[in-house]
């Protein structure tokens, strides 16, 4: 039996697409809520507001409240009802777009997403992570976007850190998915497609990632940037949908979610923590081949790989050990590996990853 939950119905990626929003968004209503943080709205609002109003729409621009939490979703539901808004536009990064997805599902309205970075696949995903005061609580199904508009001009101007984090997150699809795939008793067509697509994403990022990074550092778009953006957002989102519960996350995401109890961890982007967690997972697997590929690549991207760089150097903090406990708790995705994972093994793998990362700079 196949049970999958796919993302966007339509995905458009090209330079300047934001200026064409007035051609696409009227299909979904006349009174959209446009959700984003202050920085993101300063980027998209001038163009978006002008184009939507010219198309006869009356958009309400709403500031996002910092995290995808139940209280934030409830606040936005009330605004949508009070203003009689008829569709949702999520802009910016992962947490704002995740919130838009759950909001659209709860109020049964159409969803359009406009990412301003390629740091996550949230714009093309169909799931959302719920937090409470920074601590991950749950992963839930939301609403896949009816339309994703990706203006590659804007993404090519975003900080290189965001693109690098997105590559770390996208690569984890193959590294985390493969253990589940290898243990599967039956390989259906959707699971096989997820595996093939994740391998393609891996190949694309490893071959074009450094070129794309150089182009973004020069603040220019290029074919390499377009391919990496496509891999980070569209293809990674599709892999998650196709793989469903059979092509699962593993240690890399489990470690991120477990360590959210540590306030300092929030200085890192989602993809940065996932990239580090992937190295830890490879240490657990004793996978020298992939470590020799991934560690130098992540280092060249400038991703934080040592405990110190990640803000994890205080081993006496009880919250650190609470984070490891949460990572290895019953039901954690850390147990999707083909061998037992406990706090002691995890900690030893983290120490090994730290030493390996330090040796790269010697």
Q: For residues 360 and 341, give the distance between their C-alpha atoms in angstroms, rounded to a whole number.
A: 27
Task: For residues 330-354, give the mean pLDDT.
Answer: 95
Record the tokens describing residue 105, joined without a space: 């599902």
- Which candidate, 120, 119, 110, 149, places its Cα nearest to that of 237? 120
Does residue 169 register a pLDDT over 80? yes
For the chain, give the percent of residues with pLDDT over 70: 98
**Domain-by-domain residue ranges, the chain?**
11-157, 160-360
pLDDT of residue 2: 65
pLDDT band at 361 (very low <50, low <70, confident <90, very high): low
Does residue 6 register a pLDDT over 80? no
Identify which has the larger pLDDT, 2 or 173: 173
For residues 114 and 43, the answer to whether their CB atoms sit within 8 Å is: no
Task: For residues 201-226, give the mean pLDDT.
Answer: 96
Does residue 362 register a pLDDT over 60? no
Record the tokens describing residue 29, joined without a space: 């209503």
pLDDT of residue 141: 80
Q: For residues 88 and 115, give the distance between their C-alpha atoms in angstroms, rounded to a whole number.
A: 14
Identify which has the larger pLDDT, 243 or 231: 231
pLDDT of residue 1: 56
Q: Count CB neighbours of 288 within 10 A.
A: 10
For the chain, give the percent of residues with pLDDT over 90: 85
Task: For residues 218-244, give the mean pLDDT.
Answer: 93
pLDDT band at 360 (very low <50, low <70, confident <90, very high): confident
Instruction: Please state which CATH class domain 160-360 belongs to.
Output: mainly alpha
Q: What is the pLDDT of residues 183-197, one digit of tens each?
A: 998 899 999 999 999
Average pLDDT, the chain: 94
Identify which has the larger pLDDT, 360 or 146: 146
Q: Count CB neighbours of 73 within 10 A.
A: 23
pLDDT of residue 110: 97
Task: For residues 75-82, give the mean pLDDT.
Answer: 97
Task: For the chain, give the secondary structure using H, E and C.
Answer: CCCCCCCCCCEEEECCHHHHHHHHHHHHCCCEEEEECHHHHHHHHHHHHHHHHHCCCCCEEEECCCCCCHHHHHHHHHHHHHCCCCEEEEEECHHHHHHHHHHHHHHCCEEEEEECCCCCCHHHCCEEEEEECCEEEEEEECCCCCEEEEEHHHHHHCCHHHHHHHHHHHHHHHHHHHHHHHHCCCCCHHHHHHHHHHHHHHHHHHHHHHHHHHHHHCCCCCHHHHHHHHHHHHHHHHHHHHHCCCCCCCHHHHHHHHHHHCHHHHHCCHHHHHHHHHHHHHHHHCCHHHHHHHHHHHHHHCCCCCCCCCCCCCCCCHHHHHHHHHHCCCCCHHHHCCCCCCHHHHHHHHHHHHHHHHHHCC
CATH topology of domain 11-157: Rossmann fold (3.40.50)
Q: What is the pLDDT of residues 142-161, one digit of tens each?
A: 788 999 999 999 999 999 99
Task: For residues 109-135, give the mean pLDDT.
Answer: 92
For residues 202 and 233, the answer to whether their CB atoms sit within 8 Å is: no
Which of 32-36, 86-90, 185-189 has the weakest average pLDDT? 185-189
Q: Output the CA–CA distances (angstroms, integers) from residue 228 to 95, 163, 168, 271, in the order listed.
A: 21, 8, 11, 14
Task: For 195-254, give the secondary structure using H, E and C.
Answer: HHHHHHHHHHHHHHHHHHHHHHHCCCCCHHHHHHHHHHHHHHHHHHHHHCCCCCCCHHHH
Does residue 345 register a pLDDT over 90? yes
Residues near 95 by Cβ (< 8 Å), separated by ≥ 6?
A: 64, 66, 67, 68, 122, 131
């Amino acid at each position: 039996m196949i049970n999958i939950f796919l993302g966007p119905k339509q995905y458009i990626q090209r330079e300047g697409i934001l200026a064409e929003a007035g051609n696409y968004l009227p299909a979904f209503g006349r009174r959209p809520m446009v959700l984003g943080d202050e920085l993101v709205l300063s980027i998209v609002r001038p163009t978006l507001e002008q184009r939507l109003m010219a198309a006869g729409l009356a958009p309400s621009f709403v500031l996002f409240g910092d995290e995808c939490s139940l209280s934030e979703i409830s606040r936005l539901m009330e605004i949508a009802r009070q203003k009689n808004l008829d569709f949702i536009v999520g802009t910016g990064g992962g947490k704002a777009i995740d919130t838009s997805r759950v909001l659209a599902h709860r109020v049964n309205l159409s969803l359009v997403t406009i990412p301003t970075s390629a740091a996550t696949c949230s714009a093309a995903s169909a799931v959302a992570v719920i937090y409470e005061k920074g601590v991950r609580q749950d992963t839930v199904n939301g609403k896949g976007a009816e339309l994703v508009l990706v203006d590659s001009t804007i993404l090519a101007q975003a900080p290189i850190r965001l693109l690098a984090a997105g590559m770390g997150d996208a690569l984890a699809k193959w590294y985390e998915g493969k253990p589940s795939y290898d243990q599967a008793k039956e390989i259906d067509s959707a699971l096989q497609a997820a595996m093939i697509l994740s391998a393609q994403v891996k190949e694309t990022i490893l071959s074009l990632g450094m070129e794309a990074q150089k182009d973004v550092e020069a603040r220019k778009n290029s074919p390499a940037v377009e391919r990496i953006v496509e891999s980070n957002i569209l293809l990674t989102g599709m892999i998650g949908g196709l793989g469903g519960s059979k092509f699962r996350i593993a240690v890399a995401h489990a470690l991120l979610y477990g360590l959210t109890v540590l306030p300092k961890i929030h200085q890192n982007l989602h993809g940065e923590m996932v990239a580090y967690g992937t190295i830890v997972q490879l240490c657990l697997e004793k996978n020298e081949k992939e470590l020799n590929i991934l560690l130098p690549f992540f280092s060249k991207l400038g991703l934080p790989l040592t405990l110190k760089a990640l803000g994890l150097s205080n081993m006496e903090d009880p919250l650190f050990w609470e984070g490891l406990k949460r990572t290895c708790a019953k039901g954690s995705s850390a147990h999707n590996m083909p061998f037992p994972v406990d706090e002691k093994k995890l900690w030893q793998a983290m120490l090994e990853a730290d030493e390996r990362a330090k040796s790269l700079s010697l």
